[in-house]
Structure 1
């Protein structure tokens, strides 16, 4: 067994099913090991597509998606896809196959410093060395899956890939745990709700990894609160619900902003400012930020709570709060939704984007998956397309790179 075989066995034990990439000389030892395993090597149009597909798999399965490239230009192509996993928070292992170890510091054809290239867009970068492959890959798997999830880069010199494996293939799940701050959150939130006349719930990217959506919906219904989401938050709370009030920062954003401006307390659950900075929309309102990491604070956001925590424990505790009266009226919310839907569909004698989306929504099953690329149409889709099912809308918002849509659909 060589080190490529060892890597593949570790990936199998981590429930990896596919590796996406483009073959070339330095990649062939790894591809050959994959051929003899349960993992399928998927040929992609480019290394960029491989990165997008790995990011999509990581997002959908919560197991690391895996992509691989050759040295130099292959690695630079891969960075665009890996950047998606970095800003859109998907667990990914990105392998770059490299020249033999003895040549790593030399100026030769195609070779660049892969670790310097990937450092700004990954949680960690490892250069695999003979005798320490298992250790590095164990760390990489744990780092990629830990909150917040993201990509980890592993550089594999050609001689290391083909050297005899001297380690046993072992894999232990090592996801880090987050602190339970539910008692503190409930105390702070209860006090804030008692002072507020119009509290508003906002969810986002980090909520897509929360398994307590039913408890948050229970809290929303108990407190009679409207909620809005970001693009990445769509479907994790049902958009057919009478308390749904729209998507922040997308088509007809001024209508949503006008509604949100009525709020005097923001309860942000799983909100990641990578989609839209708090400074752009919260104004002077107090903000309760409940997420897996504290939000960056430039000093202008009025946080009353802003700490990393176990979101599921926090939401379960929030659901136990007794109802606290507020000034929201169900009819006002209904009028807002009707007006918003009408504004999304202006009268037109021509076949317009909103017609296409309505037809697709009628034809596609309620749990059907829509994957789409970046462009002006993303704004209309985010606001008009409705779903009650999580992970049925595949798009990149943090990274927002063109070229994502088709690879995501294939993945």
Structure 2
């Protein structure tokens, strides 16, 4: 049967397992939106296109696959630009679909046109691929090429636009083909390389497994757990890979923030890195904690993009392929060579547990407003065991790195790009991807939360099990600290403060959400529990001490070492 172009686009994405659509419909997309809903898709229309893009990125992280986000021509695409840039830096395969006026209009030599700009040229630097469906019969090849580019090598976003005159045209096409017919899927590494890697692991006395963001966005926790157990080694988290793999919680240590992690790195004689670019937050695997024992340490890297091998540091055995396929190859190669646990593993586990307990005990208590360290301790103690954790904010996130008491299996935050304001859209998108089954806790600062506060209405409309715990100091807390360190205490702090009359719990109530106001640390956890029990999305406004928030950020000096050049 003939199909319209917009229906064919949906069919092509359905073949990739995509059944969620984010965006704000306009004349280019009303047919697509209505048909998607009729076909059983989850269709989410937020209040800002940037939020739509961040929500789509969160779905990609929770599913391990591509996602679809649309934007209206002109201003809609302009609003999507920050989400595109974020997806590019965060390696998220989001397909952004943009509307455009008919090509006869675009090619006219005219001035003063309404809601029009030549979009593709502006957006090309922010995506891996940009194309336009000029003719209806290009639909299959362009959408498939977009998906191929988004998912090949290092994943990332693509942009496809179609002019309004194309959407109603009809196509006579066969059923949409499965992905493996037009792109490489589940690429394995060569057996010779797998054998080399297995031999290095077998010869190592103190191996470590360095786990990054990609392990979690690929939804590869189970094979990586089997690999860690086969290697009998500690798991070192990059700052982007802070989700905990089920079964490995006790032996997983955050790089740079746990003495156990530092000691494991310093003494290691082999590092197997998976799902990480070996970037600045791990000092490229060359500087700082990696300097000791560097000559004796061997490196194995599982990497999907062959062009990335050896860029940041030399690699002894590169394993090029999809980690979802390569890691099971390694597990199989090691199955007949059981290992004893690393010599200090039990001690590192005990010391890290003692570190977390000591932090929970020592975080300043009894203050009003609440000390931000105590807020993190109390909020993460109240974190539901099966929940999804979302992070946002500057100072608030830095306090979380050190003081968090939770070990969630799903953590979403924006490490590489550092884009503030993604927290609430990420939380909405994650809950949509999860089908609203698990509770979602967003722990953020007020400055970040206010970026997309209108999406509280989206959360309320969808009735998502989402609670936002907001550290409120009525300021850009991290930037206040920069002023103090740059100019000294008491100097002018221009552009970083706002009205102390802002009450985010009341804002939440205005959107139909549950609101709580807290100014004592003993009230944090009960307020979170009441918010989850309310049956509505909730906001817990926690007044935090501004001085502590700007001056006492823990491990700030370690954070500054991430900037390898140009900003120290």
TM-score range, shorter chain: 0.7 to 0.9
**Which residue does the alignment assign to 2:364?**
348
Give TM-score, length-normalised by structure 2: 0.63
**Which residue does the alignment assign to 1:337?**
352
Change (3 A) 1:374 1:93: same
**Which residue does the alignment assign to 1:116?**
121
**Which residue does the alignment assign to 1:402?**
420
**Residue in structure 2 matching 1:190, options 199, 219, 223:** 199
**Which residue does the alignment assign to 1:71?**
73
What's the CA shift for 1:50? Answer: 0.7
- Partner SS for 1:87: helix
- Partner SS for 1:207: helix
1:350-403 per-position Cα deviation (integer Å, ceiling 9, x unaligned): 33334333333343331111222242322333454466664x212122232112
CA distance in 1, matches of 2:380, 2:248: 13
Is 1:131–1:167's contact at 8 Å kept on the other side of the alignment? no
Question: 4+ residue stretches of structure 1 with deviation over 6 A?
Answer: none
- Partner SS for 2:33: helix
**Residue in structure 1 matching 2:52, options 50, 53, 64:** 50
**Which residue does the alignment assign to 1:293?**
305
1:300-324 per-position Cα deviation (integer Å, ceiling 9, x unaligned): 7242122413423333235426245
**Which residue does the alignment assign to 1:2?**
4
**Residue in structure 1 matching 2:87, options 62, 85, 92:** 85
Which range moved further: 295-304 or 363-372?
295-304
1:326-365 per-position Cα deviation (integer Å, ceiling 9, x unaligned): 8732453145314532564444133333433333334333
Is 1:53–1:407's contact at 8 Å kept on the other side of the alignment? yes
**Which residue does the alignment assign to 2:503?**
none
CA distance in 1, matches of 2:221, 2:340: 23
Give the count of matched residue pairs.
Answer: 406
What's the CA shift for 1:173? Answer: 1.8
Q: Which has the larger radius of gyration?
A: 2
Change (3 A) 1:21 1:190: same
**Residue in structure 2 matching 1:322, options 321, 326, 337:** 337
Instruction: For structure 1, list consecutive stretches of 5 or more residues without a partner in the other structure.
Output: none
Change (3 A) 1:357 1:318: farther
**Which residue does the alignment assign to 1:368?**
387
- Partner SS for 1:16: coil
Change (3 A) 1:319 1:212: farther
Q: What's the C-alpha RMSD, in Å, of the aligned pairs?
A: 3.2
CA distance in 1, matches of 2:77, 2:381: 42
Is 2:153–2:306's contact at 8 Å kept on the other side of the alignment? no
Is 1:274–1:398's contact at 8 Å kept on the other side of the alignment? no
Say whether 1:380 aligns with 2:380.
Answer: no
**Which residue does the alignment assign to 1:138?**
144
CA distance in 1, matches of 2:237, 2:405: 12
Say whether 1:270 aligns with 2:279.
Answer: no
Change (3 A) 1:103 1:179: same
1:28-83 per-position Cα deviation (integer Å, ceiling 9, x unaligned): 44334445443343211211001001111122123422111112222122121123
**Which residue does the alignment assign to 1:311?**
326
**Which residue does the alignment assign to 1:243?**
251
CA distance in 2, matches of 1:69, 1:219: 41
Say whether 1:149 aligns with 2:149.
Answer: no
**Residue in structure 2 matching 1:61, options 60, 63, 66:** 63
Change (3 A) 1:243 1:34: closer
- Partner SS for 1:131: helix
Instruction: For structure 2, list consecutive stretches of 5 or more residues without a partner in the other structure.
Output: 430-568
Say whether 1:207 aligns with 2:215.
Answer: yes
What's the CA shift for 1:405? Answer: 0.7
**Which residue does the alignment assign to 1:176?**
184
Is 1:7–1:133's contact at 8 Å kept on the other side of the alignment? yes
- Partner SS for 1:364: coil
CA distance in 2, matches of 1:275, 1:311: 25
Is 1:205–1:271's contact at 8 Å kept on the other side of the alignment? yes
Q: Which structure is higher in RCO with an 8 Å CA cutoff and minimum separation 6?
A: 1
Say whether 1:23 aligns with 2:25.
Answer: yes
Is 2:194–2:319's contact at 8 Å kept on the other side of the alignment? no
Is 1:198–1:326's contact at 8 Å kept on the other side of the alignment? no
CA distance in 1, matches of 2:305, 2:16: 25
CA distance in 2, matches of 1:347, 1:211: 34
